[in-house]
Chain A
Amino acid sequence: MTTMTGAQSLVKALESVGVEVAFGIPGGQVLPLFDPLFDSSIRHILVRHEQGAAHAAEGYAMATGRVGVCIATSGPGATNLVTGLADAYMDSVPIVAVTGQVPSTAIGTDAFQEADIRGITFPITKHSFLVTRAEDIPQAIAEAFHIASTGRPGPVLVDVTKDALNGTTQWHWPIPIELPGYKPTITPHSRQVAQAARMIAEASRPVLYVGGGLVKAQAAQALAAVVDRAPMPVVTTLMGRGIFPDSHDLNFGMPGMHGTVAAVGALQKADLLIAVGVRFDDRVTGDKATFAPGAKVIHCDIDPAEIGKNRVADLPIVGDAKLMLTDLERHLADLELPDRSEWIEYLANLRRRYPTWAGDKGDGALQPQEVIRRIGQLAPEDTIFVTGVGQHQMWSAHFLPHDQPYRWLTSGGAGTMGYCVPAAMGAKVGCPDTMVWGIDGDGCFQMTNQELTTCALNQIPIKIAVINNQVLGMVRQWQTLFYNERYSNSELHTDRYPDFVKLAEAMGCVGLRATTEEEVDAVLAQAMMINDRPVVVEFVVQKNAMVWPMVPAGTSNEEINYARDMAPTWEEEDL
C-alpha cells in the first residue's frame, strides 16, 4: 500500500488498465490531474478543442480496437465533449472521458465552471460515475474501462471532483469489479444458432445483412468462413463497410437511403435476412412497413434491446457476432444447402444494370466521385480512411476500395459533421505506421480543422482531402430535390474564403490544391510522399454533383432512384 493523492491514483489507474494515449485540455478543476500526468508514461496530446479530444479518442479506439481516452475540465470543457460522447454512443465506440468537477462541497451552488456533466450525458453514455472521494477513483476507472470495452461498447464518463483529486488515498490494485447489474450475454445460445443454420438451409433468397457490430467483434474472418460455407449475397451497412471485401462477387454493397440498387433490391426481395451487428436503422430500412416485406428475420446482436426494436425478429440471437458466426459456420457444415445461383444472378444482373453512378463531367470542374475513387486507387492497400458527414461521406462509402476490414472510420448514427480531422488524428496516433487519409467536406472541415495544428505540433502526419464544392452539399441536394432549388443558407462561398491552402500552411501543414483532372494525380503523389507533416489537399469540385442512388426520406426502399427521376425496373418473373 502506498499513500498518494487521488489525482496520482487516477493516473496510476489509467496506466494500470493499459492506457498509452489520452487527448485533452487542462483547466481549473482538472489541474490536479495534469500534474502527475506530466510524469506519466501516458502520452497526453494537447488538443485545441475538447470536441476534438472526444473524436480523437473515438478514432484511436476504432483504429486500434482499444479504449480511447479524453480528458477535460469542468463546465464548458466537459460540455464540449458532449458531441463526441453522443457520436460514440450512437456508433458503439469504446471511449472513457475523464472530467474535472468543482469540489463536492460546491456542487449545486452554480460555482464557477460548474456543469452537471453526468446529468447532461445520462442519455448519451453507456454509464457514468461521479467520484467525490479519493479512495473511490481507482474503482471507478477500473469499472469504466470494463463497461466501455465489453458487451456493446460505448462511452463512459468519469466525473471527478477537485477535492477527490486533491485528497489522499491508499493505492491498491487490481480492483475487483463490482457490477451486479452488468452481465452482458457474450456466448450465443447454440440451439438458436443451429436453428439459424436450418433456416438458412431452407431459404431460397437469403441475404447476410451485416454492420458495425462485426467491426467491434472483429468478425471479418468468421463472416468470410460463413460465406465460403454457404455462398449467399452480403450487404454491408455504412458502419460495416470493409468487413467483407467489396471485390468479392457476393458483396452487393451498401444498403439504404444511398445504397446500391443491388443491395436495396437484395433486402427488398429476400425471403430471409441474417442480420448480424445491425440495428435496422431508418437510413437502411426507409419506410419500415414496406421494408423487406417477404423476409423472415434472424437477428443477432450483443445488445438484446436492438432485437425487436425496429423489426420483429423471427429468430433472436443475443451474443457476440464473431462467436455467433463461428458457431453458425459449424452448424452449416452439417447441412445440405440449396443452389442459390438464380438468386445471386438476379442481384448480379441488378448490379450490372445499375452500377453506382460516378457523375457527369458537367461543367468541366472536377467530379468529386472520381477524385475520391482516385484517392482510393493510389493510397496503399492498408490505408485507414476517415470521413466527415454528407455527400463526400456517401461517395467515400461507394468509391473507396473497402477491401480491408477495420480500415474505415465514419460517423454513422449521429452524423457528426466535424468528425473527420480529429478522428483521423486519433487513428494516426493509434496506428503511426499506417497511412491515414481523411476525406472531408468543405463544410465539415471548417468545424474542427484546428486539430491540424495539434497534428503539426505533435508529429501526427495525417492527410486530409477537402472535397470543396463550395456548399453544404447534402443540404443543397435536398434543396434541389425537395425545396424547389431554393438554396437557403447552404452556400459556404468557400471559393472566396477561407483559402484552404493558406489555412493549412498557417497551421503547419503542407497545403495543396487541384482544380483539374491533370492536377489530381500530381497532388496525390506529392501528398503521399510527405511523411513528416500533415497534408491538406483541396479539390475544387462541381457544385451540383449529387449522391445517387437515393431513396427519398420516409419513403419505401422500392422508390429508389439510381439517378434523378430514374427508377430501376425490378424483374420479378424469376422470383
Chain B
Amino acid sequence: MSTVITLSVLVQNNPGVLARIAGLFARRGFNIESLSVGPTEREGYSRITLVVDSRDANTAEQITKQLNKLVEVVKITEMEKGQTVRRELILVKVKATASERGDILALVDTFRGKVVDVAADALMIEVTGKFGKIQAFLEMIAPYGIKELVQSGSVALARGSKAITDRSRDKTIRVNR
C-alpha cells in the first residue's frame, strides 16, 4: 500500500541545501512525487513542499526523521488532509482553431482558468487548483490537442493562524506514531 504524504520543510537558505535533500532521498530510496521550493516571509529561510510516495507508515516516519537530521532543516510539518489548502499551477498550450476557440474559452471559464497568450492557432491557458481539478481540466482539454504542458509542484499551507516559521524551540521529531 502506498501512502502519499505532503511535507512542508523549513530550511536555512544555504547553498547546497536542495542537493543535500535530493541526495538524502536518492540514498535512502525514497521517492519524490513533486517538489517546490521558494523563499518565505522570514529572511534566510526557504520552504520546500515535498509530496512523497511513502510505501508505508514506517517509511513516512523514516523520511521525516532522516530529513530532520539534516542540520539545515529547521522544521518539518506533515500537512494533514482536510486541514490544508494545496495548489498546483499549470501552463498549457492548446491547439485552437477559430471554430473551437469558443468551446475552449467556455472550459477555461468553468475551471476558473485564464488565457494568458493568444496565437493564431493556439491558446496558452493558466489554471491553478488542487491536483484533482487540474487533472480534470487536462482531461477535458486533451481532445483539442495539447501542444505543450508545464506543471508546478504542489504548494500547501495549513489552515488557521499558525505559521511554520513561528519560532519553536525544538524541531518536530515524531517517534513511532
Residues of A within 8 A of B (CB): 118-119, 122-123, 126-127, 130, 147, 179-183, 185, 303-305, 307-309, 312-313, 316, 318
CB-based contact B19/A122 at 8 Å? yes
B20 CB → nearest A CB, Å: 6
Whole-angstrom distance between the alpha carbons of A182 and B61 in the complex? 19
CB-based contact A185/B173 at 8 Å? yes
Contact of A316 among B19, B171, B175 (CB under 8 A): B175
CB-based contact B58/A123 at 8 Å? no
Complex contacts, B20 vs chain A, CB 8 Å: 122
CB-based contact B62/A309 at 8 Å? yes
Contact of B173 among A126, A130, A309, A318 (CB under 8 A): A318
A570 CB → nearest B CB, Å: 30
Q: Which residue of A lies closest to B62 (CB)?
A: A309
Range of interface residues on B (Cβ < 8 Å): 20 to 34
* Residue B145, interface by CB 8 Å: no
Complex contacts, B176 vs chain A, CB 8 Å: 307-308, 312-313, 316
CB-based contact A182/B27 at 8 Å? no
CB-based contact B16/A308 at 8 Å? no
Complex contacts, A185 vs chain B, CB 8 Å: 170, 173
* Residue B15, interface by CB 8 Å: yes
* Residue B127, interface by CB 8 Å: no
Q: Scan B26-40; emit 1 where CB is below 8 A from any A CB, else 0.
A: 010000000000000
Contact of A318 among B12, B58, B61, B175 (CB under 8 A): B175
Complex contacts, B75 vs chain A, CB 8 Å: 181
* Residue B70, interface by CB 8 Å: yes
* Residue B155, interface by CB 8 Å: no
* CB<8 Å pairs between A and B, sample of 17: A122-B20, A126-B71, A130-B15, A147-B71, A181-B71, A181-B72, A181-B73, A181-B75, A183-B171, A304-B68, A305-B65, A305-B68, A305-B69, A307-B176, A308-B62, A308-B176, A309-B65
Q: Which residue of B lies closest to A147 (CB)?
A: B71
Complex contacts, A304 vs chain B, CB 8 Å: 65, 68, 173, 175
Q: Which residue of B lies closest to A179 (CB)?
A: B71
* Residue B74, interface by CB 8 Å: yes
Chain B at the A interface: SS class: mixed
Whole-angstrom distance between the alpha carbons of A558 and B74 in the complex? 44
Chain A at the B interface: SS class: loop
CB-based contact A181/B12 at 8 Å? yes
* Residue B102, interface by CB 8 Å: no
Contact of A303 among B16, B69, B169, B170 (CB under 8 A): B69
CB-based contact B68/A123 at 8 Å? no
Complex contacts, A126 vs chain B, CB 8 Å: 71
Complex contacts, B66 vs chain A, CB 8 Å: 305
B111 CB → nearest A CB, Å: 40
Complex contacts, B169 vs chain A, CB 8 Å: 183
Whole-angstrom distance between the alpha carbons of A312 and B57 in the complex? 11
A140 CB → nearest B CB, Å: 11
Complex contacts, A147 vs chain B, CB 8 Å: 71
Contact of B74 among A118, A130, A180, A318 (CB under 8 A): A180
Whole-angstrom distance between the alpha carbons of A330 and B62 in the complex? 32
Whole-angstrom distance between the alpha carbons of A147 and B72 in the complex? 12
B14 CB → nearest A CB, Å: 9
A129 CB → nearest B CB, Å: 9
Q: Which residue of B lies closest to A152 (CB)?
A: B69
CB-based contact A308/B61 at 8 Å? yes
CB-based contact B74/A308 at 8 Å? no
Complex contacts, A123 vs chain B, CB 8 Å: 23-24, 27
Whole-angstrom distance between the alpha carbons of A126 and B20 in the complex? 11
CB-based contact B61/A127 at 8 Å? no
CB-based contact B71/A130 at 8 Å? no
CB-based contact A182/B71 at 8 Å? yes
Q: Which residue of A lies closest to B74 (CB)?
A: A181
Q: Which residue of B lies closest to A124 (CB)?
A: B27
Q: Which residue of B lies closest to A305 (CB)?
A: B65
A106 CB → nearest B CB, Å: 16
* Residue B92, interface by CB 8 Å: no
Contact of B16 among A130, A182, A183, A305 (CB under 8 A): A130
Given contact pairs A308-B175, A316-B176, A122 touches B23 in the complex (Cβ within 8 A): yes
Whole-angstrom distance between the alpha carbons of A118 and B20 in the complex? 10
* Pairs of residues from A and B, 5 with the lowest C-beta to C-beta distance, nearest first: A305-B65, A181-B74, A316-B175, A127-B71, A122-B23
Whole-angstrom distance between the alpha carbons of A185 and B12 in the complex? 20
B175 CB → nearest A CB, Å: 4
Whole-angstrom distance between the alpha carbons of A113 and B27 in the complex? 27
Complex contacts, B11 vs chain A, CB 8 Å: 181
Complex contacts, A307 vs chain B, CB 8 Å: 175-176
Complex contacts, B74 vs chain A, CB 8 Å: 180-181
